Structure 1
């Protein structure tokens, strides 16, 4: 493996590719090498739990850019080659068969799914993070009848919805009281739970998972604390993800639930991080944060590129994520906390279209749209202004 200069992006992810594209937009003409652990060209992850899992899309539709546009970026793409170690002092990344040294290193290795302790080679248990995971799960759903999804967060709720739309018997389980309760708060998560139940998903929530049951190497169910066993011939574990930082042990970087960075996404001299793996100082919030969402990956990549190009600016975004379940689109601007008060400020929940505003200590912390994208986007300005617009009289009692 040759030693090079220029920029080395470790991770052929959305954040990794966005960094390379932003560098070119910034006028950077030096060498850009993108190192990917997977054999695939950079692809988008949000469709994996929906269009890919349902079979609506072929795998190639997930590509972030077609090969001809990638060629126009003049990148050196090295795929199917995971990074093994980093020496931060020399900005040298070890790979199979050699090393790569660069003027700047961008860490965009993302996150890996957390798993449950299971017997070795237990069949019928899946996670969903990569394209190959999604294709394997789709194939498994072809023969499965009883599906249990462990984890009531965004990914688990999306997988449960897709599997149910495919006609499978689906149970969603997890320790919280409703689907996405941690991301949406009680008011909206209760409505999302009703949406799932109305579409035939069984909700076994409020009890942690104790383990999996099996027979002859095949999964047979999910055991909950308290003794209940949910029968299954396919189990999907969606209990969150951990930043991929194991290869950075001993690198000299600060690692704490991600790669610790300053407000400019800089982890050390000439080393930056972007996307799910980055934990940075958000000056607007006055705290270190690590966000796992597609929008942040792209915005953070642009900040990293600007820093490398010599025009640094702090990364101070407003968090944003969306989810599609059973034909309902939910969009969240800002961060919903459990201690925030929630109030419907536009639309009507009974009509299936509404906007909720979240406030804490008199400040607007988040705005959520349920099938009301435009109105939620307008209300987003309240997060920037730091004040709440008046609520229509007819919405005050909701």
Structure 2
């Protein structure tokens, strides 16, 4: 009998798991562990409203304190997971003031998210006689508040990384009056699972707002300059002066604490299509990769709405034994005022077609196709047509998921 469920990680996925447990009727004890000292918050707001300075931290809350109390959860802030012992069914945590603690569980849900990836050269980027300059990262609310304080009008800001996060940081910095360079070693600008398909569109959008884009250039170091600020050094010997350097080089699942648990496969936490990792062990959100029944491969979460759906699925499974459909990937972004929405399995497409709008305008809806089936959508400033086509896509993929579920349970 499941009497105590421990959710490790007060993230979007972790909170969604807790909410779903209660909604589905679980009446046992729920312990929610959060490594940070903030209540659960919206991570997409970090690179948007928080960097722009239009939101205070409290506005990024996922849930009000009163609603969190109403869930009747033992919520422990500042408790970082240190190890899990599956034999004794315990989780050990570390707390700055309280030291170590050991918590027993009947089932555990791992929702420890991901950590920002430090550039590989950062540890040796300084000269021998100079301290290494600070390379700002953006993953947590504390990170976002620190970075936001650096985005001052007229400052030279260099963003390392040409993915979605890099574009969002460049957008926010530009809006606050900084002079921005967006730098990456890939051949173009990436839009998540859509890859480089919209690189030209992104490049034009940045150029229209005064962002200098440098692709195909490998950064090898960042060093304190002879004057104020830093020099970003490239492999070809060129350098770029900057007052602030922000790395957006991707993220890695925060699973190092599981190293001796026997739960990792080649360093990854792999779950089935319903979040099950091992007996009484589940995983949701960025810490894990779920098995995609449509492709037979494990897929990282990567975005808030998918993480929420995973948490809800595991909550229903633990509370009521209900198997939910596999969550369809979805994300959105806002770059220089352009709203981008994406849904589906964009990375398996072999062709892309225009469904609405115009290739050459700032309004367009694209359908991604794998063979003769639509597998994904990307919209630029066309939210209503996107929702219409997304409903059809979800219905199609839900029907396919139901067939797969029948095979799984037969």
Same fold (TM over 0.5): yes
TM-score (norm 2): 0.88
Match of 2:386 in 1: 376
Post-superposition CA distance 1:78-130 (Å, at most 9, x none): 11110110012322111232200111111000000000223586344200000
Partner in structure 2 of residue 73 of structure 1: 71
1:1-398 matches, cutoff 5 A? 6-96=4-94, 97-116=100-119, 117-119=122-124, 122-142=132-152, 145-181=155-191, 183-215=193-225, 220-256=230-266, 258-313=268-323, 315-337=325-347, 340-380=350-390, 381-382=392-393, 384-385=395-396
Question: Which 10-residue stretch deviates more, 281-290 or 147-156?
Answer: 281-290
Contact kept in structure 1, 2:24 and 2:320, CA below 8 Å: no
Using the TM superposition, give the Cα deviation of residue 383 of structure 1 relative to its aligned residue in structure 2, in angstroms. Answer: 6.3
Greater mean alpha carbon deviation, residues 215-224 or residues 236-245: 215-224
Unaligned ranges ≥5, structure 2: 95-99, 398-410
Please tell me the root mean square deviation across aligned C-alpha atoms, in Å.
2.2
* C-alpha distance in structure 2 between counterparts of 1:238 and 1:158, whole Å: 10
Whether the 8 Å contact between 2:132 and 2:223 is mirrored in structure 1 is no
Tell me, in whole angstroms, the C-alpha distance in 1 between the residues paired with 2:349 and 2:74.
48
Structure 1 segments unaligned to the other structure (5+ residues): 387-398
> What is the alpha-carbon distance in structure 2 between the residues aligned to residue 75 and residue 213 of structure 1?
47
- Tell me the matched-pair count: 383
The 2-side partners of 1:5 and 1:55 are apart by: 43
Residue 231 of structure 1, CA deviation: 1.3
Distance of 1:256 and 1:300 partners within structure 2 = 22
Q: Which residue number in structure 2 is paired with residue 391 of structure 1?
A: none
Moved runs in structure 1, 4+ residues, more than 6 A?
none
Counterpart CA distance in 2 for 1:186 and 1:40 is 35
